[in-house]
């Protein structure tokens, strides 16, 4: 079985979030709702991160190749691009988490308060949901960077042109 970042969520992050953070049973209804939130948010981070990562490497290919030629390992040479684009991918989620409750009230929070739930309990759950989404997105995006480097580069560390064209060769 191929280990994709989405499967990593299903195996690690979602059970952790449901059992330890939210103290819920691992039932179909909670798994589908929570899994959908985490996977949807992570997909957004992956798309932004991977697109920017490979475009950035393509723009700075000479600098990347220079680092390789001066003795840097493949990981050492790509790490500045990973850091920069991981920050770019996570910035919207971090901003949304930071302004939650001050600038915007997410739907779950508003619905629960209007439904008569204790606002303090609802806010705690919303904060836990936002942090869980941020952690899942961070893990997923970082793993996606690392897992795609196996297919995006040759054994010598050269960026494959097929990453951009979709054609082998």
- 């003795």: which residue's tokens? 71
More confident residue, 30 or 129: 129
Distances in whole angstroms, Cα of residue 42 to Cα of each of 47, 80, 81, 86, 114? 9, 21, 19, 12, 29
pLDDT for res 21: 58
More confident residue, 45 or 124: 45
| Percent of the chain whose pLDDT exceeds 70 | 72
SS3 letters across 97-123: HHHECCCECCHHHHHHHHCCCCHHHHH
Question: Can you read off the two tokens belonging to residue 135?
Answer: 């952690």
The phi and psi torsions of 100 (rounded to 5 degrees) equal -60, 125
More confident residue, 95 or 88: 88
The phi and psi torsions of 28 (rounded to 5 degrees) equal -60, -45
pLDDT for res 107: 65
pLDDT tier at 71, thresholds 50, 70, 90: very high
CB contact at 8 A, 14 and 158: no
State the pTM of this model: 0.72
Q: Is the pLDDT of residue 146 over 80?
A: yes
Q: Is the pLDDT of residue 28 over 60?
A: yes
Can you give the residue ranges of every domain in the chain?
A: 5-165
Q: Is the pLDDT of residue 56 over 90?
A: yes
pLDDT tier at 63, thresholds 50, 70, 90: very high
Q: What is the mean pLDDT of the chain?
A: 78
């Amino acid at each position: 079985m191929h280990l994709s970042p989405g499967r990593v969520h299903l195996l690690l992050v979602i059970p952790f979030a449901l059992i330890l953070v939210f103290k819920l049973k691992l039932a179909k209804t909670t798994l589908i709702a929570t899994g959908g939130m985490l996977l949807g948010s992570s997909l957004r981070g992956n798309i932004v991160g991977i697109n920017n990562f490979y475009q950035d490497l393509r723009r700075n290919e000479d600098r990347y190749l220079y680092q390789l030629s001066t003795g840097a390992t493949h990981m050492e040479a790509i790490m500045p691009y990973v850091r920069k684009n991981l920050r770019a991918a996570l910035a919207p989620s971090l901003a949304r988490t930071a302004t939650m409750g001050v600038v915007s009230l997410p739907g779950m929070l508003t619905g629960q308060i209007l439904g008569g739930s204790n606002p303090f309990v609802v806010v705690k759950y919303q904060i836990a949901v936002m942090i869980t989404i941020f952690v899942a997105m961070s893990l997923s995006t970082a793993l996606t960077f690392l897992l795609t480097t196996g297919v995006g580069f040759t054994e010598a560390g050269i960026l494959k042109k097929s990453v951009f064209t979709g054609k082998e060769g």
